[in-house]
C-alpha cells in the first residue's frame, strides 16, 4: 500500500512552486515588461497566444507515459526525469528573455516565450503524473492542497516579487532571480521518492496516443456525456469572473496599488487557505459531498461582487469579496483536482490527466472570454447573479453517477490503496 510522507509533502510543495513560476513570467509579468519596452497593446495582446501550450498539452502528453528522457531517465525514472529536464529548460529560457532586444527581435522573443510555455506545460504533465502515482486516492486531497500552496506562492514570487525586483534593480535581475528560483524548485525532483513504474503498454507511436483514449472511454462509456459536461461546467463560476476581474476593480474606483495589495497578495493567501481547507475536507468526507460544497462556495462567492457592483465600495468590501472568491477558488480547485486524479488510470496518468485538465481549462478560457460582452449588455450586477447561477448545472450533475467511484478503474483503485 502506498502512502504519503513528509518527504512527499516537501517535494510536492517545491514541484508546485516550479509549476506556477513560468506561467506568470510569460503572461502578466511579461506583458508589463513589454509595455515598458514600448510595445503596442495590440502586439502585447497577440503575445498572449504563447500560452497556448497550456491549453493543448494533452496533444503530446502520451509521449511522457511511454518514453523516458535519454540518459537521465535511467537514473531518475520516467516522471522525475521529465520534470528535471523541463525545469532546467524553463530556467534557461527565463535567462534568455531579458537579453533579447524587444524592438529588433520581437519574433525571437515570442518564440522563446512560446518555448517557455511548452516546457512549463510539459513540466505540469510530469508533475501531475508523479502526484497521482505517489499517493492513493484518499490522500490525493492533501497532496493536491500542498501542490496548490506551492503553486500560489510561486504566483506571488513571479508577480509581486518580480515586479518589486524590476522596480528596485532591473528587469534582467528580476528574470535572473526567477531563473534561480526555478533551479531551487528542481530540488523537489531530488527529494521526490521514485514511484513504481508501470510496464509499457503500447507497441508503437500510434498506440501511444490511441490506447489512453480507448481505455478511458471504455471505462467511462455509460456516463461519458454527463461526465464531460460536468468537467466543462464545474469551474464555470470562477472562470466567468476571472477574465474581467481587473477591469471590474478599476471600474469600481480602486487604485492599482489597492488592487495589487488586496487581490494579488492577500487574495493569493486566501486561496492558499482555501486549498488547505479543501485538502482536509476531501480527505475526511465523500468526494461527492466535497464536490457539492466546492461548487456551492464558488457560486455563492459571486454574490459578494454583485453586492459590490450595486455601490458597496471601500477596501473592507474589496477585502471581503476577495476573501470569499479566492478562498472558494482554492477550496473547489483542490477538490476538483482530486476528482480528476481519481478518474485517471495509473497506466496512462500523464495522458488522461492532461486531457481532463485541458478540457476544463480550455472551456473556461473560451466561455470566460465572452464575459465582457455579457457585462456590456446587462451590467455588472446582473452578470454576477448570472455567474452565480452558472454553478447550478454542475450542482445538479453532482448527484449523478459521474461523481461516484464507479467511474474509476476499480482494479487500479485496489492497486492504489
Torsion of CA 26, 344, 201, 188, to 10 degrees: 50
Domain boundaries, the chain: 1-197, 202-417
Of 14, 394, 60, 9, nearest in space to 186 by CA:
14
DSSP secondary structure code for residue 265 in this structure: I
Question: The domain 202-417 belongs to what CATH superfamily?
Answer: MFS general substrate transporter like domains (1.20.1250.20)
pLDDT digits (tens, 9 = 90+) for 100-150: 998 888 899 999 999 999 999 999 999 999 999 888 877 888 888 899 899
**Each residue's pLDDT tens digit, 41-55:** 677 777 778 888 998
Closest CA to 292 of 220, 408, 401, 396: 396
| pLDDT value of position 73 | 84
Q: Give the Cα separation of 164 and 399 in Å (integer).
A: 47
Does 1-197 match 202-417 in CATH topology?
yes
| Sole residue written with cell 503530446 | 60
pLDDT at 46: 75
pLDDT of residue 85: 97
How far is residue 120's CA from residue 118's CA, in Å, rounded to a whole number?
5
Q: Out of 105-119, 146-160, 247-261, pick the least confident.
A: 247-261
Pick the CATH number of 1-197 from 3.90.76.10, 2.30.30.60, 1.20.1250.20, 3.40.50.2300: 1.20.1250.20
Q: How far apart are alpha carbons 220 and 326 in whole angstroms?
A: 32
pLDDT, residue 407, reads 60
- Per-position DSSP letters for 79-134, written without gaps between them: HHHHHHHHHHHHHHHHHHGGGS-TTT-HHHHHHHHHHHHHHHHHHHHHHHHHHHHH
pTM: 0.80
pLDDT digits (tens, 9 = 90+) for 356-388: 988 887 777 677 667 778 888 888 899 999 999
Amino acid at each position: 500500500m502506498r502512502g504519503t510522507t513528509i518527504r512527499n509533502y516537501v517535494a510536492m510543495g517545491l514541484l508546485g512552486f516550479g509549476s506556477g513560476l513560468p506561467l506568470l513570467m510569460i503572461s502578466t509579468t511579461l506583458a508589463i515588461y513589454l509595455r515598458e519596452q514600448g510595445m503596442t497593446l495590440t502586439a502585447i495582446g497577440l503575445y498572449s497566444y504563447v500560452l497556448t501550450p497550456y491549453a493543448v498539452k494533452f496533444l503530446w502528453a502520451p509521449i511522457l507515459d511511454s518514453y523516458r528522457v535519454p540518459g537521465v531517465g535511467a537514473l531518475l525514472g520516467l516522471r522525475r526525469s521529465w520534470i528535471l529536464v523541463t525545469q532546467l529548460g524553463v530556467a534557461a529560457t527565463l535567462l534568455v528573455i531579458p537579453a533579447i532586444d524587444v524592438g529588433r527581435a520581437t519574433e525571437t522573443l515570442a518564440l522563446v516565450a512560446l518555448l517557455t510555455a511548452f516546457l512549463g506545460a510539459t513540466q505540469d504533465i510530469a508533475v501531475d503524473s508523479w502526484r497521482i502515482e505517489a499517493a492513493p486516492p484518499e490522500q490525493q486531497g492533501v497532496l493536491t492542497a500542498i501542490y496548490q500552496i506551492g503553486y500560489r506562492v510561486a504566483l506571488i514570487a513571479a508577480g509581486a516579487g518580480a515586479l518589486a525586483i524590476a522596480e528596485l534593480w532591473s528587469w534582467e535581475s528580476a528574470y535572473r532571480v526567477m531563473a534561480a528560483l526555478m533551479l531551487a524548485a528542481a530540488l523537489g525532483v531530488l527529494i521526490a521518492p521514485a514511484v513504481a513504474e508501470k510496464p509499457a503498454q503500447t507497441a508503437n507511436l500510434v498506440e501511444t496516443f490511441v490506447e489512453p483514449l480507448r481505455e478511458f472511454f471504455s471505462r467511462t462509456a455509460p456516463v461519458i456525456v454527463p461526465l464531460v459536461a460536468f468537467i466543462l461546467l464545474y469551474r464555470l463560476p470562477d472562470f466567468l469572473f476571472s477574465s474581467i476581474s481587473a477591469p471590474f476593480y478599476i471600474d469600481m474606483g480602486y487604485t492599482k496599488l489597492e488592487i495589487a495589495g488586496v487581490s494579488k497578495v492577500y487574495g493569493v493567501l486566501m486561496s492558499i487557505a482555501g486549498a488547505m481547507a479543501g485538502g482536509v475536507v476531501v480527505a475526511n468526507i465523500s468526494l461527492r459531498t466535497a464536490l457539492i460544497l466546492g461548487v456551492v462556495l464558488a457560486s455563492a462567492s459571486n454574490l459578494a461582487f454583485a453586492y459590490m457592483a450595486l455601490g458597496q465600495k471601500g477596501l473592507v468590501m474589496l477585502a471581503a469579496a476577495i476573501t470569499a472568491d479566492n478562498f472558494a477558488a482554492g477550496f473547489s480547485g483542490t477538490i476538483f483536482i482530486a476528482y480528476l486524479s481519481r478518474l485517471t488510470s495509473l497506466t496512462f496518468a500523464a495522458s488522461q490527466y492532461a486531457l481532463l485538465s485541458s478540457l476544463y481549462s480550455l472551456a473556461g478560457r473560451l466561455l470566460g472570454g465572452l464575459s465582457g460582452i455579457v457585462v456590456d449588455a446587462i451590467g455588472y450586477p446582473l452578470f454576477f447573479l448570472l455567474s452565480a447561477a452558472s454553478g447550478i448545472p454542475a450542482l445538479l450533475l453532482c448527484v449523478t453517477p459521474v461523481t461516484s467511484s464507479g467511474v474509476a478503474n476499480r482494479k487500479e483503485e485496489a492497486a492504489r490503496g
